[in-house]
């Protein structure tokens, strides 16, 4: 299950082999501020794209709901059912109960903090799929999955309850993300999808009776590294987890494509018996190329304390720089025309082309032409053409994708 915060990332997820995608609409989701949010008018288009590509669509309605918003929530769920969204992801009872009332499939969000079989039994009245708390261990998850089979615990559909777990992406210092730091300090609530992430910063402790200050541990002590399970994904599968969830609705389309592709390949390798440490190392290199705060294995292998980031922001080994846009595409010969708006394009460079229908196209520039003549570069203000192996579209954005020079 891949995160989608834009049409670019929706197409990128599909390109990379996602079996399902999840997304938010408007203000009723936990990434309402950080993602390039969809509107109600987008719902039908999103579900049509998903159905065309045989991908399930999950709408997150997973914020706290207040009395004055109940009617708005009902209207959104009615629209989701009309547009044939596959399921709603929720934790507030205003959402869960209404989904049950109108026969809309609902999945239980990680915000419900499910950590035991009793909770599974209870929520099985309402849902076929439940996301476990990110604080459980794999041994605990395996025990829950075994109990579901042994006791034949079924959801409303009559099928065995399926367990979903996060396998990659950002983690929060708070249990299941229930944090009030942003609300208390900045007036924007994480539980309303508007977290400003004050936890991701470095802090000093000051002595009230003197001018002495201490930099706490020299680390970002409230900012966990990103979860990454690809090195032990076989153990996750062995535990009985049915759905693997990638975090990142606020991240870029190339992040969605890269992470989805790596986990898709890893699943295929587990299935065909070719899952090796050598492949894990290759996937890790790819995962490090896109946004990350460095990686750790979360609590799944039994750790009781988090690993904290040592820098602010992304530690990606590659960075993209805007260069220009596609002004024309000649499908019969597979050639794209680019207007270079800033910087320059040079032979041998890596580029990304991104657009709402294109998704993400990656290539190495092995040919550039200006006025139909071969050249080794194209400068700012110039129209140039390049061959592509995939269809791109007029208006798509063009970026250089270059290695980061590590100054730390």
Block residue for tokens 């798509």: 396
Q: Which residue has the higher pLDDT, 206 or 82?
A: 82
d(CA 67, CA 107): 22
Mean pLDDT on 207-225: 73
What is the per-residue pLDDT across 134-169, written as a single tens digit (0 to 9) for each? 889 999 999 999 999 999 999 999 999 999 999 999
Give the pLDDT confidence of 316-368 residue by residue, as tens digits.
999 999 999 999 999 999 999 999 999 999 999 999 999 999 999 999 999 99
Instruction: Please say if the pLDDT value at position 80 is more than 90.
Output: yes
Q: Are strands 397-403 and 318-330 parallel, antiparallel or unpaired?
A: antiparallel
Q: Is it the case that residue 408 has pLDDT exceeding 70?
A: no
Going 54 to 387 to 341 to 313, the CA torsion angle's sign is: positive
Residue 286 has pLDDT above 50, yes or no: yes
Phi, psi for 271 (deg, rounded to 5): -65, -40
Give me the mean pLDDT over the 238-260 stretch.
Answer: 96
Average of per-residue pLDDT across 193-217: 72
Q: Tokens 């993400």 — which residue?
A: 360
Determine the 3-state secondary structure of 395 from DSSP.
Answer: coil
The answer to whether residue 282 scores a pLDDT higher than 80 is yes
Closest CA to 170 of 222, 232, 130, 228: 228
């Amino acid at each position: 299950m891949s995160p989608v915060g834009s049409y670019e990332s929706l197409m990128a997820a599909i390109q990379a082999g996602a079996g399902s995608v999840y997304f938010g609409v408007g203000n009723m989701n936990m990434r309402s501020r950080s993602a390039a949010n969809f509107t109600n008018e987008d719902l039908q288009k999103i579900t049509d794209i998903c159905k065309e590509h045989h991908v399930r669509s999950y709408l997150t309605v997973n914020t706290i709901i207040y009395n004055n918003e109940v009617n708005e929530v009902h209207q959104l769920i009615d629209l989701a059912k009309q547009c044939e969204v596959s399921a709603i992801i929720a934790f507030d009872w205003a959402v869960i109960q209404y989904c049950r009332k109108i026969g809309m499939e609902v999945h239980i969000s990680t915000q419900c903090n499910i950590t035991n079989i009793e909770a599974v039994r209870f929520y099985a009245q309402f849902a076929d799929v439940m996301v476990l708390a990110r604080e459980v261990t794999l041994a605990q998850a395996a025990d829950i999955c075994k109990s579901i089979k042994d006791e034949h615990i079924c959801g409303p559909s009559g099928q065995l309850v399926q367990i979903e777990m996060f396998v990659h992406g950002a983690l929060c210092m708070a249990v299941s993300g229930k944090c009030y730091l942003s609300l208390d300090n900045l007036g924007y609530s994480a539980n309303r999808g508007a977290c400003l992430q004050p936890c991701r910063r470095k802090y000093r402790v000051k002595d009230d009776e003197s001018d002495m200050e201490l930099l706490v541990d020299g680390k970002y002590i409230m900012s966990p590294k990103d979860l990454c399970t690809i090195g032990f994904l076989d153990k996750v599968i062995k535990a009985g987890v049915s759905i693997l969830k990638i975090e990142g609705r606020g991240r870029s389309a190339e992040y969605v494509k890269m992470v989805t592709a790596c986990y898709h390949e890893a699943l295929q390798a587990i299935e065909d018996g070719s899952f090796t440490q050598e492949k894990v190392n290759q996937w890790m290199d790819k995962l490090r190329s896109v946004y990350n705060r460095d990686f750790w294995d979360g609590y799944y292998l039994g750790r009781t304390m988090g690993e904290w980031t040592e820098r602010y922001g992304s530690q990606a080994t590659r960075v993209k720089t805007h260069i220009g846009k596609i002004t024309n595409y000649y499908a019969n010969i597979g050639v794209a025309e680019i207007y270079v708006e800033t910087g320059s394009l040079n032979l041998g460079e890596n580029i990304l082309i991104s657009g709402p229908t294109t998704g993400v196209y990656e290539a190495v520039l092995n040919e550039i032409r200006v006025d139909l003549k071969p050249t080794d570069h194209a400068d700012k203000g110039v129209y140039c053409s390049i061959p592509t192996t995939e269809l791109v579209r007029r208006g798509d954005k063009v970026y250089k994708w270059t290695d980061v020079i590590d100054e730390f």
